[in-house]
Amino acid sequence: MPDRPETIHQVSENAFEVIERPVSAWERFYGNAALRKLVLLLVLAAVWEISARWYGKSLLLPSLSETLKAFVDQAGPLSQAAAWTIVRLLKGYSLGLLLAIVLTAIASVTRIGADFLETLTSMLNPLPSIALVPISLIWFAVSENGLIFVLVNAVLWSVALNTYAGFRGVSPTLRMVGRNYGLSTVGYITRILIPGAFPSILTGLKIGWAFAWRTIIASEMVYGVSGEKVGLGRYINDESNLSHTPGVFAGLLMVILLGLAVESLIFKTVEKRTVRRWGMET
Amino acid sequence: MNTGLNSSEPLLRVEGVTLQYQTGQRLIRAAYRVSFSVLRSDRFVILGPSGCGKSTILKAVGGYVEPIEGRILLDGTAINSPGPDRVFVFQEFDQLLPWKTVRENIVFALVAGKRLQRSEAVERAEHFLGKVNLTNFADSHPHTLSGGMKQRVAIARALAMEPRMLLMDEPFAALDALTRVRMQEELLELWEETKSTILFVTHSIPEAIRLGNRILLLSAHPGQVKAELNCPGTGESDGVARMLATRIEELLFDRKIEEGGVHA
């Protein structure tokens, strides 16, 4: 080994150019994702408006301002249609959740129940719910029940499968801790197993909601349901039949706004308050 | 029936207990006819190589595993299910409920079995958090804590439940060496204050000697009692501890000590 001298260095105290400084206004702006996206959105809106005006055929491509005007003019019927759609959606979603709870309970208790859930899920999950519309027309004729049948199918499988996987994923240690507390069976399920499985349950709820939202808009277009209870899907279809293209765009805008509101406001908020705060993100 | 009031009687009696468990296709016999007694305020350490069934024995005392032979008596009453009178501290860091803050983890453990009012539970939680120096972290969620802090919360939670026995399953095994030594010292300090009865499982000879006042040595596959030794305690000189360590090694690795022959 070569002979190496030891070295000891003097650490400088105040010779740095910058140790800390506030970031510039531009850096702050560019670091904000919401602001970046807002700017992007404004650019897209401008491109849309200009190109539509330049093209000049509002029957084919209405401009943004025409769409917004239709949105405001039609605010009454549009929000009425949205209300019907949401009421139906909530009925189907909650019935789907209820069935999912029953199915998960059976699957958690018996092995054959678990097999049943897994087999049925792998069969029905790849089937787009909209594909059930023809059969629901035969079974339920043109009625709200037919729509709800289609919706339940959209919600049930993803929620049940995720909830069941969530329960199975609760760690053995956590289970033992829970049993150590002297809780009742109900207490053990509600205070230990359900919160322990919550990340998966939330994922199931989110996927179920997304499926349901897409399914109801699509099936309302095919379905219509009887006259006075026009939903959003039917509304868009009707506007199209009347060749009122700005109305079609206004309907689509409503679908986007509502979808965004639920998916990003409600679910994001729940996520932030629970899973993310607990450090249980999957 | 034993009234449990006679304090010279052992708190826990394990009598000829054989344990087995199933993993997938295999049935594994973990312990064979193990007997020992734990007195009140003992720091009783079960020491053995991995696979000697020491954790399974602890789980049986906890009521999670049922013996296929023999019996386990706590104060003269057979153990048949888990309960808050025997609180576990695990090796795993995920033993705290991640959806509750540090304080709520302890409070929930106290009110869950309807044993305490909430206000009392909060007070007791604060008290024991103070004892493990985590008062400042009462409102944090477990995932923001380090491994050592999580184990301290688990110990505080277990002590707050005031169980008749503390069952500790290698609680410091997953910690870094420096933290482990600190935690061992803290545990001894806490024991000095509370004099809780501790049943402690470990595979580390130094840890057993540092913490225990009595050490049960188990052989591997399936675990059988090899020896039950007294431990001098922390006040003693290093020399005594080193001699005990040598003796334990000889017993565990089956070297003859009678003839004084093999000293590697």
Residue B111: its chain A contacts at CB < 8 A? none
Structural contact between residues B45 and B212, judged by C-beta atoms closer than 8 angstroms: yes
Task: Give me the mean pLDDT over the B147-175 stretch.
Answer: 88
Checking if the pLDDT of B5 tops 70, the result is no
Residue B229's contacts (CB-CB under 8 Å, 6 or more residues apart) are B214, B215, B217, B244, B247, B248
Half-sphere exposure of B193 (CA within 13 A, CB side): 11
pLDDT tens track for A123-182? 888 888 888 888 988 898 878 888 899 999 999 988 998 999 899 889 999 999 998 888
Structural contact between residues B73 and B79, judged by C-beta atoms closer than 8 angstroms: yes
Residue B244 sits in the same domain as residue B181: yes
Residue B128 sits in the same domain as residue B77: no
Touching check for B44 and chain A: CB below 8 Å? Answer: no
Residue B130 sits in the same domain as residue B233: no
Residue B22 sits in the same domain as residue B141: no
Residue A192: its chain B contacts at CB < 8 A? 97
Average pLDDT, chain A: 88
Task: Give me the mean pLDDT over the A89-93 stretch.
Answer: 93
Instruction: Look up residue A53 and give its DSSP letter.
Output: H
* B213 domain residue, yes or no: yes
**Tokens 């993100």 map to which residue?**
A281
pLDDT tens track for A217-234? 998 888 765 566 788 998
- Predicted local distance difference test score (pLDDT) of residue B3: 46
Residue B62 sits in the same domain as residue B170: yes
pLDDT band at B236 (very low <50, low <70, confident <90, very high): low
Of B90, B92, B112, the CB nearest to A181: B112
Task: Give me the mean pLDDT over the A68-90 stretch.
Answer: 92
* Cβ-count burial A210-248 (b if 16+ within 10 Å, e if not): bbbbbbbbbbbbbbbbeeebbbbbbbbbbbeeeebbbbb
CA B256-B258-B259 angle, to 5 degrees, is: 80
Contact A174 B109 (CB under 8 A): no
* B147 domain residue, yes or no: yes
Checking if the pLDDT of A83 tops 90, the result is yes
Contact A173 B95 (CB under 8 A): yes
Q: Which two tokens stand for residue B121?
A: 């539970």
Task: Give me the mean pLDDT over the B50-70 stretch.
Answer: 87
Comparing B6 with B168, which gets the higher pLDDT? B168
Other CB atoms within a 10 A radius of the CB of residue B219 amount to 18
- Predicted local distance difference test score (pLDDT) of residue B182: 83
Contact A177 B88 (CB under 8 A): yes
d(CA B109, CA A16): 52
Residue B80 sits in the same domain as residue B170: yes
Touching check for A171 and chain B: CB below 8 Å? Answer: yes
The residue among B87, B88, B99, B153 with the most chain A CBs within 10 A of its CB, best to mutate, is B99
d(CA B125, CA A146): 55
Specify the amino acid at residue B122.
V
CA neighbor of A183 nearest in space, from A192, A172, A174: A192
Touching check for B66 and chain A: CB below 8 Å? Answer: no
Average pLDDT, chain B: 83
Q: Quick one: what percent of chain A has pLDDT higher than 90? A: 41
Residue A274: its chain B contacts at CB < 8 A? 99
Last residue of a domain, one of B162, B183, B216: B162
Contact B144 A280 (CB under 8 A): no
**Range picked from A5-9, A55-59, B87-91 for highest mean pLDDT:** B87-91
- Predicted local distance difference test score (pLDDT) of residue B73: 87
Checking if the pLDDT of A13 tops 90, the result is no
Dihedral over alpha carbons B139, B142, B143, B147 (to 10 degrees): 130
CA A201-A170-A281 angle, to 5 degrees, is: 55
d(CA A66, CA A51): 13
d(CA B126, CA B161): 13
Phi, psi of A235 (to 5 degrees): -60, -50
- Predicted local distance difference test score (pLDDT) of residue B259: 45
Contact A280 B99 (CB under 8 A): yes
Q: If you count them, how many residues does chain B have?
A: 264
* B91 domain residue, yes or no: no
Q: What is the pTM of this model?
A: 0.80
Q: Which two tokens stand for residue A248?
A: 């079609």
* Cβ-count burial B43-75 (b if 16+ within 10 Å, e if not): bbbbbbeeebbbbbbbbbbbbbbebeebebbbb
Residue B148 sits in the same domain as residue B170: no
**Tokens 């859930």 map to which residue?**
A117
Checking if the pLDDT of B114 tops 50, the result is yes
Contact A173 B90 (CB under 8 A): yes
* B123 domain residue, yes or no: yes
Chain A residue with Cα closest to B65 = A176
- Give the strand order in the sheet containing B26-38: B26-38, B12-23, B69-74, B77-78
- Predicted local distance difference test score (pLDDT) of residue B264: 39
d(CA A68, CA A72): 6
CATH of the domain at B200: 3.40.50.300
* B126 domain residue, yes or no: yes
Touching check for A179 and chain B: CB below 8 Å? Answer: yes
* B264 domain residue, yes or no: no
Which structural domain range is residue B67 located in?
1-85+165-256
* B92 domain residue, yes or no: no
CA of B74, closest CA in chain A: separation in Å? 16
pLDDT band at A11 (very low <50, low <70, confident <90, very high): confident
Comparing A244 with B223, which gets the higher pLDDT? A244
- Predicted local distance difference test score (pLDDT) of residue B235: 57
CA neighbor of B45 nearest in space, from B209, B178, B195, B246: B209
Residue B150 sits in the same domain as residue B122: yes
Residue A236's contacts (CB-CB under 8 Å, 6 or more residues apart) are A217, A221, A248, A251, A252, A255
Residue A191: its chain B contacts at CB < 8 A? 108, 112
3-state SS of B32-60 is EEEEEEECCCCEEEEECCCCCCHHHHHHH
CA of A154, closest CA in chain B: separation in Å? 30
Task: Give me the mean pLDDT over the B67-73 stretch.
Answer: 88
Peptide bond into A2 cis (omega under 30): no
pLDDT band at B141 (very low <50, low <70, confident <90, very high): very high
Residue B90: its chain A contacts at CB < 8 A? 173, 176-177
pLDDT tens track for A166-175? 998 899 999 9
Structural contact between residues B223 and B30, judged by C-beta atoms closer than 8 angstroms: yes
Touching check for A274 and chain B: CB below 8 Å? Answer: yes
- Predicted local distance difference test score (pLDDT) of residue A186: 85
Structural contact between residues A104 and A117, judged by C-beta atoms closer than 8 angstroms: yes
Residue B79 sits in the same domain as residue B171: yes
Other CB atoms within a 10 A radius of the CB of residue B228 amount to 13
* B113 domain residue, yes or no: yes
Task: Give me the mean pLDDT over the B146-157 stretch.
Answer: 89
Last residue of a domain, one of B162, B177, B196: B162
pLDDT band at A15 (very low <50, low <70, confident <90, very high): low
Checking if the pLDDT of B252 tops 80, the result is no
Q: Is 0.85 exceeded by the ipTM? A: no
Comparing B12 with A248, which gets the higher pLDDT? A248
The span from the first CA to the last CA of chain B, in angstroms, equals: 51
Domains belonging to chain A, first-starting first, are 64-276 (1.10.3720.10)
Contact B99 A198 (CB under 8 A): yes
- Predicted local distance difference test score (pLDDT) of residue B185: 86
- If one counts the domains in chain B, the total is 2
CA of A176, closest CA in chain B: separation in Å? 8
pLDDT tens track for A22-56? 778 888 888 888 888 899 999 999 999 999 999 88
- Region of poorest pLDDT, from A224-228, A238-242, B43-47: A224-228
Task: Give me the mean pLDDT over the A52-79 stretch.
Answer: 91
The residue among A180, A188, A194, A272 with the most chain B CBs within 10 A of its CB, best to mutate, is A180
Residue A174: its chain B contacts at CB < 8 A? 94-95, 97
Task: Give me the mean pLDDT over the B35-61 stretch.
Answer: 86
The residue among B65, B81, B91, B97 with the most chain A CBs within 10 A of its CB, best to mutate, is B97
Checking if the pLDDT of B172 tops 90, the result is no
Residue B237 sits in the same domain as residue B195: yes
Residue B77 sits in the same domain as residue B39: yes
Q: Which residues pair with B73 in a beta bridge?
A: B13, B78
pLDDT tens track for A251-278? 999 999 999 898 888 998 898 888 888 8
Task: Give me the mean pLDDT over the B200-229 stretch.
Answer: 84
Last residue of a domain, one of B128, B162, B196: B162
CA neighbor of A211 nearest in space, from A201, A219, A221: A219
pLDDT tens track for A202-216? 999 999 999 999 999
H/E segment holding residue A223: helix A194-223
Residue B185 sits in the same domain as residue B121: no
- Predicted local distance difference test score (pLDDT) of residue B234: 60
The residue among A177, A179, A200 with the most chain B CBs within 10 A of its CB, best to mutate, is A177
Chain A residue with Cα closest to B154 = A177
Task: Give me the mean pLDDT over the B144-151 stretch.
Answer: 88
